[in-house]
Amino acid sequence: MPADLKALTEELAKALTESPSEILVIAEDEEDCVYVDLEVAESDMGRIIGRNGRTAKALRNILSAAAGKEGKRCSLDILE
């Protein structure tokens, strides 16, 4: 399950950023929640977060829906 969420996060982030080679995704699976850490280039932070956080919220919604299919929750942290 974390591998699927990790791959999904990487694909979404690559589509949004100008420096896809600088993307780092770490996914950890706990008993009822998957924790995903996303790190991008500093110049791409605005693209990932979006205006008023809309893009970040959309990413969290997509990942939560994907994790929900397996009966889990998902937490996405965007690291600087």
Q: What pLDDT digit, counting tens, does each position of 16-59 carry?
A: 999 999 999 999 998 899 999 999 999 999 999 999 999 999 99
Query: How far is residue 20 from each of residues 7, 8, 9, 14, 16, measured CA to CA in Å?
Result: 13, 14, 12, 5, 8
Residue 1: pLDDT band by 50, 70, 90 thresholds? Answer: low
Measured distance CA(35)–CA(28) in Å, rounded: 5
pLDDT at 3: 81
What are 23's two structure tokens? 């993307």
Domain positions in the chain are: 2-31+41-79
